A and B are shown apart, each in its own frame.
Chain A
Amino acid sequence: MSIAEAFVEDDLTPAPDEAGRAVLNERFEVFSGQRLPQFDPPGCGAFRAADLKGRPRALFAVICQPDHPPRTEIFSVLRRFPAVPVLMPVDAGFTYWPPAGANRAVLIFEQPAGKRLVEASVERFEPWREDHVVETLLRPLLPALRELERFYLPHRAIRPDNIFFSDGAQSALMLGECVSTQAGYAQPVLYEPVDSALAMPGGRGDRTTSEDLYALGVVVAVLLNGGNPLAELSDEDIIVSKVTHGSFVALARHLRCSLPMVEVLRGLLTDDPEDRWTVNDLALWLNGRRLSPKQPVLATKAIRGFEFEDRTYTTGPSLAVALAYHWESGIEAVKSGMLLRWVQRSLNDDRAMARLESALENWAYGEGGIDSEHHVLARVIMALNPRGPVCYRTFRASIDGLHKAFAIGLKDPVVCEDYRMVVLGRLGPFWYSIQSQVRPEFAAYRKYFDLARRVIAQGGEEFGLVRAIYATNPGWPCQSEIFAGDYVTSPGDIVPALERVAASDSRPSEPLDEHIVAFIAANHQGLSDVAVTTLTRRSGTDRSVLDMVELLSGLQRAFGPPEVPRLAEWLSASIGPVLETYHNHETRRRIETAVDGLVPEGSLNRLLCAIDDHTLRQGDKEGFARAQKQFLRLTIFRHWIESGGHGDPQFIGGVAHPIGSAVTALVGAIAVLVMTVLYL
């Protein structure tokens, strides 16, 4: 399924004018009946928008995919951006989108004055002249790249169909938007450096402006060529070609261009990010200073090629790409020992051999708690192509895009399982161990990898993966089915969103599921412990219900709103298990009555106090113990009566004898009194 096909069809269905209007932040009106397909980003829909308060201007709104959040984390940075030729969102937020009947992320942009540089559907066009490329593309975009670098904000969507003419005269270009999808998600393989090209679209990582410069180099090559120079190749072949010959050779070998243009292409298309041109290098080149890019260090070629899947591979990285694409055959190749022998005898690369030995160390097929042979191949692929992504079966992601790839592919069980095996199989630490350079950002990657491993190991398949989504992807919106019609990006959104869900007819039995709880655990420090405990509890128990109410009341206290009567009513329908913990039925009825009285107030804290009153619980406990004793005594007594205890001479004697004595004493006293009277 392509990225564009992934978009929810309902979101694109035009609605009648009045019913189909959406208003963002009480300022921007979006017309769902007025599509603007010329501004569609991949996988999203563009619609006409209007500014209700500001000056009249041509705007369009991008409606984002419900399960693929935009790059919300860069909104605040983009707002601080100066006027540079990049399509910046005028505003962004979440609002009700009538065609879908649910909330969606909406981005408002000013319509570019010109059209796209090249439409996505156009394969061939008139090749550009070199001076035209410099004056129309490189020079106008340089300030934008400089600002992106200054703010450490990679664009990651530089490609011809996302570059617009900034004026009607088509004299200058501007970069298109970069927030509607995750970084690099919509980039074709051609525009990705060899490090990340093999990765799944969602697993390419945020990276740096260096990747933007590489993409710019590819755009230059495409424009000079009049189309994709590798159009006839598959994605796999493009990557193999790049890693075998180097990107510059793969993309520009058929181009006829001047030496200065060769310089800039060679500098931008350098595969090693350390040697790739920076924005300053490009600026210097544009100012006429000629630089001499380093010659690319290509992978060592083998004396004899390795036959695999009817092709011959002569370098380790190219073979790694092929192994990643043909997984099952790759396992056979490793198991047969042919690959190891090829590296030993033909590749003549001591470092690759050392990495390979490390990959095979302490691993044996069929042993271990995890699927070993897949892990061996994953390590072998990394050993052959250490700069490449982490690969495990169909899961391929850069080390900085591992967790995001999983979050994006959440609905695919294969992605989930593969991610779990990547984490539990410690493929991340292996990747760090074989890198020739230790970079500072590795520490952050390692932190998230360890965190993911810990939560998955703790929670297992049941909820470990769900926790991993939010623990390793800060700011990732809650993916709960309960919020299918909403968009929850912070803990403060949860209670209001649940109140809206509570008002609907299709609310589930309980207002929390594992996604919401895991989301709270990752995003609200104060309730993290309660949330983690809640995850481990079996649903429908008294503790799980109490934890649920405690979590939501905590959120209400922290973020409001003060009154959520519908949510309170929803929760009150779930308190059965808590009531059952009280033995006294009268107490249960009293609590039920109290809860019914509290529901209209909508205070979850008061609801919690009503159902979990410590004093009441203690009194109930003591009263129950007394009642049990009393019942036992009554049972013994009843048993005694039924077995004829009342007729027992000993019992009768015990009762009658003192009475008899008393009666005779009374009679005696009366007799003495009578005698005394008579005597006197």
Chain B
Amino acid sequence: MGKSSAKVKAAASPKRRRGLMWYLPWALASIPICVVLWPSVFLVAALMGPSVLSPILFGRRAMHLTASVGILNFVGVLPALGRLWEQGHEAGVAAHMLTDPVVWGGALAGAGTGLVLFFATEWVVAAYYRITAEARLSQVMARQEELVELWGDEVITADAARLMTQGGQATPGEAGDLRAGAAT
């Protein structure tokens, strides 16, 4: 209980919240870059559309998904960016390139690969946990038996006894401990 309230306090603290003032220097620094590299910025901004759309489609919390899509989306944009720079790095070339389906195919293929890899990983992890659950349960039970053997039945506190005998979910207060246990 105390642990979770401490976490809430930490999350609400000013140090963790990035305000407008934090972004302002970055925004100011990016203005000259955008001006100087205008054709590249234009091309990348257009081709990175799937990455921009992903947090909207999958929710803002799916930061990892956005990162996965974004990284490979950018990798798909890189060949087009190389061609732009080879052809003089001009806005007209960039606009022309946006009409090229191959350029869009590369960008979308990258973004799609990121999406597939991300969900494939989730499926693999779920399968891994499903397969190893029995073994982990056996480990936990063996460790508990060791503790009882070493310390006697008194090591089983009232809370532990209640959890062992009752079915159903852990209480909200135990949720923090539950996550800690899962990470053990």
Query: Do chains A and B stick together as partners?
Result: yes
Interface: B30 (CB within 8 A): no
Residues of B within 8 A of A660 (CB): 64-65, 68, 117-122
Interface: B141 (CB within 8 A): yes
Residues of A within 8 A of B78 (CB): 672, 675
Residues of A within 8 A of B159 (CB): 632
Contact of B72 among A585, A624, A671 (CB under 8 A): A671
A selection of 30 A-B contacts at a CB cut-off of 8 Å is A584-B150, A586-B150, A628-B160, A630-B147, A631-B147, A632-B177, A634-B143, A634-B147, A634-B181, A635-B163, A636-B163, A636-B178, A641-B136, A641-B137, A643-B167, A645-B178, A651-B182, A652-B126, A656-B124, A656-B126, A657-B121, A658-B64, A659-B125, A660-B65, A663-B68, A663-B118, A664-B68, A667-B113, A668-B74, A672-B78
B125 to chain A: closest residue by CB: A656
A620 to chain B: closest residue by CB: B151
In chain A, positions 593-634 with a C-beta closer than 8 Å to chain B are 623-624, 627-628, 630-634
Interface: B140 (CB within 8 A): yes
Q: Of B34-42, B89-97, B168-176, which binds chain A? A: B168-176
Contact of A631 among B62, B82, B137, B155 (CB under 8 A): B155
In chain A, positions 657-680 with a C-beta closer than 8 Å to chain B are 657-661, 663-665, 667-668, 671-672, 675, 679
Interface: A507 (CB within 8 A): no
Q: A660-B121, A661-B68 are in contact. Are A637 and B75 (CB under 8 A)?
A: no
> Interface residues of B, CB < 8 Å — how many?
58
Binding site for A on B (CB under 8 A): 62, 64-65, 67-69, 71-72, 74-75, 78-79, 82, 113-114, 117-122, 124-126, 129-130, 133, 136-137, 140-141, 143-144, 147-152, 154-157, 159-160, 163-164, 167-170, 174, 177-178, 180-182, 184
* Extra 9 A-B pairs, beta carbons < 8 Å, given A640-B181, A664-B68, A668-B71: A585-B151, A586-B150, A632-B163, A635-B160, A637-B178, A637-B184, A639-B163, A660-B122, A663-B68
Residues of A within 8 A of B126 (CB): 647, 652, 656
What is the distance, in angstroms, from B181's C-beta to the closest C-beta of chain A?
Answer: 3
Question: Is the CB–CB distance between A664 and B71 below 8 Å?
Answer: yes
Residues of B within 8 A of A667 (CB): 72, 113, 117
B74 to chain A: closest residue by CB: A668
Binding site for B on A (CB under 8 A): 583-586, 623-624, 627-628, 630-643, 645-647, 651-653, 655-661, 663-665, 667-668, 671-672, 675, 679
Dominant secondary structure at the B interface:
helix
User: Could you tell me the distance between the alpha carbons of A653 and B180 in the complex, rounded to whole angstroms?
Assistant: 16
User: Could you tell me the distance between the alpha carbons of A397 and B79 in the complex, rounded to whole angstroms?
Assistant: 122
Q: A641-B140, A642-B137, A672-B75 are in contact. Are A661 and B64 (CB under 8 A)?
A: yes
Residues of B within 8 A of A628 (CB): 151, 155, 157, 160
What is the distance, in angstroms, from A237's C-beta to the closest C-beta of chain B?
Answer: 72
Residues of B within 8 A of A657 (CB): 62, 64-65, 118, 121-122
Question: Is the CB–CB distance between B113 and A637 below 8 Å?
Answer: no
Central interface residue in A584, A656, A659, A665, by most chain B CB within 10 Å: A656
Contact of B156 among A631, A636, A651, A663 (CB under 8 A): A631
Residues of B within 8 A of A679 (CB): 82
Residues of A within 8 A of B113 (CB): 664, 667
Question: Is the CB–CB distance between B182 and A637 below 8 Å?
Answer: yes
What is the distance, in angstroms, from B51's C-beta to the closest C-beta of chain A?
Answer: 12
Residues of B within 8 A of A584 (CB): 150-151
Question: Is the CB–CB distance between B129 and A647 below 8 Å?
Answer: yes
What is the distance, in angstroms, from A164's C-beta to the closest C-beta of chain B?
Answer: 73
Question: Is the CB–CB distance between A624 and B170 below 8 Å?
Answer: no
What is the distance, in angstroms, from B183's C-beta to the closest C-beta of chain A?
Answer: 9
User: Could you tell me the distance between the alpha carbons of A478 and B120 in the complex, rounded to whole angstroms?
Assistant: 87
What is the distance, in angstroms, from A356's C-beta to the closest C-beta of chain B?
Answer: 66
Question: Is the CB–CB distance between B154 and A624 below 8 Å?
Answer: yes
A585 to chain B: closest residue by CB: B150
Contact of B177 among A623, A633, A638, A671 (CB under 8 A): A633
User: Could you tell me the distance between the alpha carbons of A660 and B117 in the complex, rounded to whole angstroms?
Assistant: 7
Residues of A within 8 A of B164 (CB): 635, 639
User: Could you tell me the distance between the alpha carbons of A663 and B68 in the complex, rounded to whole angstroms?
Assistant: 8
Residues of B within 8 A of A675 (CB): 75, 78-79
Question: Is the CB–CB distance between A668 and B182 below 8 Å?
Answer: no
Question: Is the CB–CB distance between A633 and B64 below 8 Å?
Answer: no
Residues of B within 8 A of A642 (CB): 137
Contact of B154 among A583, A633, A653 (CB under 8 A): A583
What is the distance, in angstroms, from A618's C-beta to the closest C-beta of chain B?
Answer: 16
Q: A584-B151, A624-B151, A641-B136 are in contact. Are A665 and B71 (CB under 8 A)?
A: yes
Contact of B178 among A585, A624, A640, A659 (CB under 8 A): A640
Central interface residue in A631, A642, A672, by most chain B CB within 10 Å: A631
Residues of A within 8 A of B150 (CB): 584-586, 627
User: Could you tell me the distance between the alpha carbons of A76 and B43 in the complex, rounded to whole angstroms?
Assistant: 121
Question: Is the CB–CB distance between B144 and A634 below 8 Å?
Answer: yes
What is the distance, in angstroms, from B133's C-beta to the closest C-beta of chain A?
Answer: 5
A629 to chain B: closest residue by CB: B157
Residues of A within 8 A of B177 (CB): 632-633, 636
Q: A643-B168, A660-B118, A668-B74 are in contact. Are A637 and B129 (CB under 8 A)?
A: no
User: Could you tell me the distance between the alpha carbons of A661 and B121 in the complex, rounded to whole angstroms?
Assistant: 9
Question: Is the CB–CB distance between B122 and A653 below 8 Å?
Answer: yes
Question: Is the CB–CB distance between A652 and B129 below 8 Å?
Answer: yes
User: Could you tell me the distance between the alpha carbons of A593 and B9 in the complex, rounded to whole angstroms?
Assistant: 52
Central interface residue in A627, A638, A671, by most chain B CB within 10 Å: A638
User: Could you tell me the distance between the alpha carbons of A668 and B73 in the complex, rounded to whole angstroms?
Assistant: 9
Residues of B within 8 A of A623 (CB): 151
Residues of A within 8 A of B147 (CB): 627, 630-631, 634
Residues of A within 8 A of B79 (CB): 675
Question: Is the CB–CB distance between B68 and A636 below 8 Å?
Answer: no
User: Could you tell me the distance between the alpha carbons of A642 and B136 in the complex, rounded to whole angstroms?
Assistant: 11
Contact of B151 among A583, A656, A664, A668 (CB under 8 A): A583
Contact of A656 among B121, B144, B149, B168 (CB under 8 A): B121
Residues of A within 8 A of B120 (CB): 660
Residues of B within 8 A of A668 (CB): 71-72, 74-75, 114
